[in-house]
Amino acid sequence: MCARAERLVGAVERERLGEVTVRDVCRYAVAVGADDHAAAARADEAAGRPVVAPPMFLTGILSWADGPPEGELRPDGLAARESPCTAGLPVRQVHGGQAVRLLAPVTAGTVVHAERRLTSASRKHGRAGDFVVLALRTDYTDAAGTPLVVMDESVIVLGDGDGD
């Protein structure tokens, strides 16, 4: 798995995530317990003011696509799309952490693009055995290319399915 990942270091995956809606902002706010933010967003919308998303909105959404049917989820509960470098391998993943830089507010009506790349892969050894740490960077921009958010994250992959 580590060798497979190392071959993918630097490759960029670009995606148009879509337009942020007031509904998206409100659903996210309610999901994270920010009911006041959702109410303020609806009030701003009614008054014709810009509706600003909560700060972690972009990084808090695992996927903007419709989710896969339950039968297509991996054993660890993730969709294959959210499992970098591990297609077809019998592994489990956990999120290792993230560092986020908020560069500009995200407002309803913004069309968001993302560029995701694997920045490193390293084999580690712990008490429970070997694992691989994948480092990923995602740059979120608006349609004009204005940077909105940069997220550096790590994913811990347990069970080295292909032995490399």
Does residue 132 lie within any of the structural domains?
Answer: yes
Position 82 scores a pLDDT of 66
Please tell me the distance from the alpha carbon of residue 84 to that of residue 150, in angstroms, as a whole number.
18
Residue 38 near residue 26, CB atoms below 8 Å: yes
What sign for the dihedral angle of Cα 51, 141, 148, 68? Answer: positive
Residue 162 near residue 4, CB atoms below 8 Å: yes
Q: How many separate domains does the chain show?
A: 1
Per-residue b or e along 44-55, where b marks 16 or more CB atoms closer than 10 Å to that residue's CB: bbeeeeebbbbe
Position 84 scores a pLDDT of 60
Position 129 scores a pLDDT of 83
Does residue 93 lie within any of the structural domains?
Answer: yes
Convert the pLDDT of each residue in 140-157 to its tens digit: 999 999 999 999 999 888
Does residue 164 lie within any of the structural domains?
Answer: no
Read off the CATH number of the domain in which 39 is found: 3.10.129.10
Per-residue b or e along 131-149, where b marks 16 or more CB atoms closer than 10 Å to that residue's CB: bbbbbbbbbbbbeeeeebb
**For strand 92-102 and strand 12-19, is the pairing parallel, antiparallel, or unpaired?**
unpaired
Domain boundaries, position 145: 1-159
SS3 category, 66: coil
Position 146 scores a pLDDT of 98
Residues in the chain, pLDDT under 70: 1, 62-66, 80-90, 160-164
Please tell me the distance from the alpha carbon of residue 91 to that of residue 76, in angstroms, as a whole number.
8
| 12: its two tokens | 């960029």
Does residue 109 lie within any of the structural domains?
Answer: yes
Does residue 37 lie within any of the structural domains?
Answer: yes
| 37: its two tokens | 């933010």
